[in-house]
Structure formats: C-alpha cells, structure tokens
Structure 1
Amino acid sequence: MRIVFAPAPTGSGHNMRALALARELRRQWPEAELTVLLGSLQSTFGPLFEAAGVEVVDVAGDHVDHATRSNLSRDLDWRTYIKGYVAPAFVNGERVLGYLSHYQDLDADLVVSDYNISASMAAAIAGVPHALVTERYDFTLLQIDDTTLEAGGFRVAHEDLRRGRNSLHAVFDWIVSTAEVVLTDKPYVPELDAGTSVAAALDTGRAVFTGPMIREIPERGDGAAVRASLGLGPGPVMVGSVGGTSMFLENKQRVLDTYIEAHRLLKRTHPGLQLVLLGREAVRAPDDVVVLTYLPDWMPLLREADVLVSAPGWITVTEVAALGVPTVFVLSSLGEYHEVEASDRLRRLGFPSLVAPTADRLADAVRPLVGARGAAPSPAHLATAPEGSGTGRAAELLARAARGARERRPARREEAVR
C-alpha cells in the first residue's frame, strides 16, 4: 500500500494532521509505503515525519512559514486576492505540474491532500486516486460575505469577488466530486454549511465526519517534570497561542499584547498564574512570561494547563476538544478572514469565542476557568470530539480507499494487497 501525503503549505495544522494520520497508518499497517510532499515548516516537520517512518520530499526548497509575514493587502480585487494571493498559495499552476511529476515518480495507490488545492487538482487531472482531508466545507471565500470582509477593514471589489467565488467553488466542487473519499473533522452546522460541496458529499456518503484527526493522546505523565522543562512552577497555567497563518502581522502582535495584558490583570486575583506564550517567533514579554517560538508536541503542556487562549485554528480546536482543555478562542481581527468562519462556528457550538477582545474582556472570559480543570467535558467539546480521537477511523478509511484503488489497477493486481 503506497500512500502519498500532500499537506497544504499554509499553516502548521495541515502538516500536523497529515503527521497524525501517517503515524496511525504506520501503527496499523507497518509495511505501508508512506511519503510526504512537504511544502512548509520543513525544519520542524521533516524530522517528525522521518521519525514516523515517512519518506520526506521537500517540494518547496526554501523554508516556508506563513505565520511570520502578512499575506494580504487591504484591497480585495481580482489582482490582489486571486492573482496575488489565491493563485500563488492555493491554485498554483507550477505546483500542479510539480505534484504531477512526483505522482508519476512515486506511483501512489492514493494521494491524501490536506486542503492542498494544487495537489488535489493534479490528482484529478491525472486520474490519480485521491482523498481530501479538509476542515473547509467549501473554499474559504465562499463561507464569508463581502459585508464581513468590509467590517474587517477590506476595500472590496464586489464583482471581482463574485467571479472569484464562482471560480473557486467550481474548483473545490470538482475536487470533492473526484475524490475517493472526503474526510472532515469539522461538525456540520446547518446555518454555515448548507449548500456547500462537503455538505452535499456528506449526504451521499462520499464524505465522512471523523472527529479529531490528531496525534496520539499521551497518558498523563510526570507533570512536575513537564513544568520543570519549561521553567514553570506548581501554580495554575495559562497557555496563549497564535495562528499558523497571518493575513496581517499587526493583528498577530495585537493579540499577543492582549494575552500579556490579560495575564497581568488576572494575576490580581490569581497571583500565581503563569503564562506560556507560543508566539511562532521571538516575542518581547515580561520576565514572568515563558515565551516559546514553537512547541511541536504541546499535549504534555496542555495536560498541565488550566486554560488555553488560542486563535481558532481547527487542528488546535480538535486537539483541545479531545483533551477536554478549557479554551477561550480569540480571533484577533475580522481582517484574519480565513478564521472568521471557524470563530463563528465555535460560538455556535458553545465555545467562548471572542473577536478582537480588549484585555479586560479576555480576562473576564478566562477568569472562571482558572482552577476549574477536571470538570466534565462541555457540550461544545463533545460535539467536536464525540468519540475522542477520530484518527484511527480516518486511517482505516484512507487504507480502504488505497486498497480499493490498488485493486482496480490490473498491472499490479499480482502484488500483495496490504
């Protein structure tokens, strides 16, 4: 069984989900041949995939990290949004050709695209069996309207975006319709998802809601050792995290400042409260704040946390839902348009979900959660992770798709199906 992973190069969550699925496939089918076409955060994720027994092909060359630069301008028209952002980042002709060449070399039974539009397009063009792993029910722009974009400070060329939405929906619908299977870790919300491509696929059985596709949840270990490794004492812990992709770097800096100020306010009632800040790069912070640029395995830290404050990146949502971590989700600005839908969904599911909060408002949302760890999972946690981790089920569905595709290839039927 030969499976090739192609996670989208935007944000760390796509890499992390592909890594989780690869680890589970390796656990269940040790003899499987697994390869990842890695396009971002190579120095961090390359060794992690290799440690999981996955061959790594760097398809970018240069190190890519979308969290350390702005990705949009305030003008949204065909030139700036479609030509300047979507085409290079998602619907990229050069990448399509590159993926086609890799598919030919690797002769995969199944390509697994984690919202990698170019990789999915290449598979559909070549007739290569492919699976789509996605937290999007349609292309991002389709689930946010112009009024919300304008509220986020964008100057919108309405006709250009109408044409863009039509084109992007056609591409996404084609990808969904040609996939062997579509897996999503996002619970269906009718008000947001009715009429989307993935919703239609759920109705026909082509798509499956698996719940969280995450790494193995570790047993609770030596909390004192975890704390000591991070320079933490025995008191309550608040973890602050930012997103893996920033539309505007000033929004990222603003939310980091809000975390730090909220922590200062919370210490008035919880003097021993410690803040661990995951800032994606060096961040100026007071001496009583632990700053980490990135923590590849943060689950042991989350086990120790009283509360997490985080951008609404979906892989983070699924991990904290499976772990039962009390969380306040913070969208730094409506200008971070790619997370507006997730922020709205989280609010509808019942999570605390704030948009550009003041430090006082954030502190008010966090305060009741400090010291309350150990309570039963909330309805919001259960809706997102109804059976805890869904990684095993997702891996089984991918393996089934790979085996089915392999059996349809007469030239290799004589090979053992694994």
Structure 2
Amino acid sequence: MKILLAPAATGSGHNMRVLSLAREIRAQQPDAELTVLLGSLQSTFTPLFAEAGVTVVDLEAGRPVDYATKSNLGHRMDWDGYIGGYLAPAFVNGERILRYLAVIQDHRPDLVVSDYNMSASMAAEILGAPHALITERYDFTLYQLDDRTLIDGGFDIEPEDLRRGRQALHACFEWIVSGAEVVLTDKPLVAELDEGTALARALGPGGNAVFTGPMVRRVPPPGNGAKVRADLGIPQGPLMVGSVGGTTMFLENKQKVIDCYLAAYELLREQYPDLQFVLLGREPVPAPESVIQLPYLPEWMPLLRESNVLLSAPGWITVTEVATMRIPTVFVLGSLSEYHEVEAARRLDRLGFPTCVEPTAEQLARTVAPLLAVRPDHDAPTPAQLAVAPDGPGTALAARHLLAAAGRAR
C-alpha cells in the first residue's frame, strides 16, 4: 500500500499533524510505503519523518522555508494584493499544482493525503487520484470572515474583489471536499460560525467528512518533572510557558505578543516572585535574564506537562495537543490583522477557553494569575477541553479511516 503525504507548507502544525498520522499508520500497517512531500521546516522535520520510516521528498530542494520569520501579507486587501499576492502563491499555486501532478504521476500512490494542502488536493482531483483531506478549516478562511472584521483588523479592503474571491475560493473548497474519498477534521462544529461551509455540509447525513478529535502524536506517560526542569535549565517555582511560533501575517504582531507576554510576566512576578517563564520562539529576543528562551521545540509535551499554564496563539494543531493533554492554556490573538486566526479565536471563546484578543499586559496578567495558584489536574478536563478532545487522541481513528480509504482505492 502506497500513501503520499502532503502537508501544507504554511505552518509547523501541518507537518506535525502529518508526522503523527504517519507514525500511527505505520503502527497499524507496518508494510505501508509512506512518502512525505515536505515544503517547510525541512531541517527540523526531515529527521523526524525519517525516524518514523517515511521517505522524505524535499519539494524546495534544500532551500529552507519558514513562514514564521517574516510578514506574509500587506494591509491592502484587493484582488492583486491579497488573492494574487498572497493567497494564490500560498494555497492555489499553479506551478505547485503542476509539481504535485508530476510527483503523483511518478509515485502512483493508492492515496494522496493532503493536510490542508490545496495545491496537492487539486492535483489529485485533476488526475482522478484517490485523495483524503485533513483540515482544521471548514472553508477557506476568507469565506468565514466578513468585511467588517477585516476593516477592524486595519485592512484597506476592496469589497467587490473580496466578494468575488470568497465565491471562487468556496467553489474550490467545495470541489476538493466533494471529490475526496474521506475528509477528516479535528475541529468541532460551531453552528453559528460554520453554517454554509463546505465542511459543515460534508459532516451532515450522507457526507464524507468525519470529526475524529485530535490528530496528535502519542502523549508520553508522566515523567520526572525535576529532570525536565534540569535538562532545560528551569528553576523551581510556578511555570508559565509562552509560545510565539507559527505563521504570521505581520512580523510586528509577533513582537507585539512577545512584548505583552514579557510585560505580563513582570506584573505576575509581583504576586509570584518565584515565577519561571519559558519563551518558545524561532529566534532569540531581548528579554530579562530571568526569562528562559528556547528555540522551536518539536518534543514539547514533557515541558507542557510540567507547566502551570501555556500562553499560545490560537493555532489549531496546538489547540488539539493541549486539549488532549488537559494543559491549562490562555489563547492570545495579538491583533485582528492576524486574520487567519480570528475564526479559531472566536471558536475557542465560544467553547469556553480563556481567550484574549489584543490584550493589554494587565488584562493578560489578570487572566493568567488564577491558573498559577494551583497545580493543574490533568485528570479533570474542562468542558472546553472535552469539546475538542472528547476521547483523548483521535489519531488512531483517523489512521483507520485513511487506511480504509487507501484499501478501497487499491
């Protein structure tokens, strides 16, 4: 059985979710022939996939790609600036579709698995190749945001261009979803946000979509917390972890979030003098000496288990991991101009997670403070965590669906 895995290149989470699925597919079907088409963070993920027994094809031929270290959008949202300048190159890319067409024809897999990789999905659909879609989006992001939200985010919009763009993108998403052997999502439906989307329809009676719950790596058993701290150089005391990785639309927003984290940390130290703060980022930033800065940490679960609270952008793969592990988390959206995370922030708020949008340091500190007062009980999930991860990891279920789809196609 041959399966071709194609994660979107726009964030580390897509690579991690595909890696988790690959490991589980390998566990369930040891003789499966797995190949991943890697388009970003190659130096980090190539050895991880190789260790999982997955053949790696570097689509960028060694050129490192990381969408988290630069701005990816301008403030003018019209057809040329947004559709032509950002969305088409990143998601509906003609050259990339041709590249996937060639790769699929070379490999002739039983199943193409696209993790929100629209170009790979389109290539498979063009060829009539059986394909599965993994998605945390119910439709293209623009389709679920109105003009008012974009204006509030500081964008200068051209309404007619965006109307036409929404129509075109929705048609593409409908085409991909309707043609897939199976569509798997780890995002619970919220009717008021998802009505009219392609995925909501596919989740209905007779549809081809399934809510699996979190498609995450296996959660390790509780370890030696003292050793985790010693290995990472973290003194004793309440522990707050701040994550600032992930794709950003405007690099200044990432700095804004870092500044807010650091200012909130200083305020919280007045109440908790022994508070420890670990900042996870791609690059070091100016910070007090007491702040422990670590680069991107692929295996961060032991650190999370030792923490009292995580501060994170509302990236959905992160949401699923921390909900599965029952980690207290405050989700922080630094700016509405990070439009790609607005829908997730709204969903998290409706599900009951602590969520801050453009907070001041004082607001963030007030939200975090109660979580530092007690050690988290990982065996007592909150209703919000249960909404995302009702049965813990859904990786095994997702892998069974993918293997069944590959078997039918074969």
Question: Normalising by the residue count of structure 1, what TM-score does the alignment of the two structures yield?
Answer: 0.96
1:126 alignment partner in structure 2:
127
Equivalent residue of 2:10, what SS?
coil
Deviation of 1:373 after TM superposition, in Å, equals: 3.0
Indicate the residue corresponding to 2:107 in structure 1: 106
Q: Which residue of 2 aligns with 1:19?
A: 19
1:153 equivalent to 2:157? Answer: no
Match of 2:217 in 1: 215
1:25-104 aligned within 5 A: 25-61=25-61, 62-104=63-105
Contact 1:6–1:113 (CA<8 Å) still a contact in 2?
yes
Measured after TM superposition, the shift of residue 170 of structure 1 is: 0.5
- What are the Cα deviations for residues 189-231 of structure 1, in whole angstroms up to 9, with x where unaligned? 0000111100100012300000000001000111111111111
How far does the alpha carbon of each residue in 1:324-365 deviate from its partner, in whole angstroms, 9 at most, with x for none?
000000001000000000000000000011111001000000
Per the TM alignment, residue 28 of structure 1 is displaced from its structure 2 partner at its CA by: 1.3
In structure 2, distance between residues paired with 1:347 and 1:158: 28
2:207 matched residue in structure 1: 205
Partner of 1:286: 288
After the TM superposition, which segments of 4 or more aligned residues of structure 1 sit over 4 Å from their partners?
Answer: none
Identity of aligned residues (%): 66
Contact 1:77/1:156, CA 8 A, preserved across alignment: yes
Q: Secondary structure at 2:68's aligned position in 1?
A: helix
Q: Of 383, 389, 409, which aligns to 1:405? A: 409
CA–CA separation in structure 2 for the residues paired with 1:281 and 1:255: 14
| Matched-pair contact (CA < 8 Å) for 1:243–1:312 | no
- Correspondence 1:179 to 2:183: no
Per the alignment, in what secondary structure is the counterpart of residue 122 of structure 2?
helix
The answer as to whether partners of 2:77 and 2:157 remain within 8 angstroms in 1 is: yes
1:232 and 2:234 aligned? yes
**1:105 Cα deviation from its structure 2 partner:** 1.2
Cα distance in 2 between the residues matched to 1:254 and 1:180: 42
3-state DSSP of counterpart to 2:85 = helix
1:241-278 CA-partner distances (Å, limit 9, x unpaired): 12410100000001001101111110111111111101
Q: What's the secondary structure of 1:63's corresponding residue? A: coil
Partner of 2:306: 304
| Aligned residue number for residue 253 of structure 2 | 251
- Residues 267-296 of structure 1: CA distance to partner in whole angstroms, max 9, x if unpaired? 111111111101221222110011112001
Count of residue pairs the alignment pairs up: 406
Q: Does the Cα contact within 8 Å between 2:328 and 2:376 map onto a contact in 1?
A: no
Conserved 8 A contact 1:326-1:373: no
Instruction: Indicate whether 1:384 and 2:372 are aligned.
Output: no
Cα distance in structure 2, aligned partners of 1:373 and 1:385: 21
Q: State the alpha-carbon separation in 1 of the partners of residues 295 and 235 from structure 2.
A: 20
Structure 2 SS opposite 1:339: helix
Q: CA deviation at 1:374?
A: 3.2
Query: Could you say what secondary structure the match of 2:270 adopts?
Result: coil
CA distance in 2, matches of 1:379, 1:219: 23
- In structure 2, the residue matched to 1:137 is 138
Distance 2:240 2:373 in 1: 10
**What amino acid sits opposite 1:138 in the alignment?**
D
1:308 match: secondary structure: strand
The Cα shift of 1:235 comes to 1.3
Determine which of 396, 400, 406 is the counterpart of 1:396.
400
Equivalent residue for 1:413? Answer: none
- For 1:166, the aligned partner's letter is Q
Cα distance in 2 for partners of 1:50, 1:283 equals: 32
Amino acid at match of 2:362: D
Task: Output the amino acid matched with 1:127.
Answer: G
CA contact (8 A) 1:256 1:279 kept: no
Give the Cα separation in 2 of the matches to 1:138 and 1:404: 26
Which amino acid is the alignment partner of residue 93 of structure 1? G
CA contact (8 A) 2:264 2:361 kept: yes
Q: Which amino acid aligns with 1:186?
A: K
Q: Which amino acid aligns with 1:44?
A: T
- SS of the residue aligned with 2:132? strand
Letter in 2 for 1:330: V
- The answer for the alignment partner of 1:5 in structure 2 is 5
The separation in 2 between residues aligned to 1:240 and 1:205, in whole angstroms, is 39
Tell me the alpha carbon deviations over residues 20-79 of structure 1, each in whole angstroms, 9 at most, x when there is no partner: 000001111111100000000000011110010000000122111000000110000000
Question: Deviation string for 1:112-168 (max 9, x for gaps)?
Answer: 000000000000000010000000000010011110000000000000000100000
Specify every segment of 5 or more residues in structure 2 that has no aligned partner in the other structure, as ranges. Answer: none
Alignment of 1:326-405 (within 5 A): 326-375=328-377, 376-405=380-409
Preserved contact between residue 245 and residue 280 of structure 2 (Cα < 8 Å): no
Any conservation in 1 of the 2:236–2:276 contact (CA below 8 Å)? Answer: no
Give secondary structure in 1 for the equivalent of 2:4: strand
TM-score (norm 2): 0.98
1:6·1:114 contact (CA, 8 Å) conserved in 2?
yes
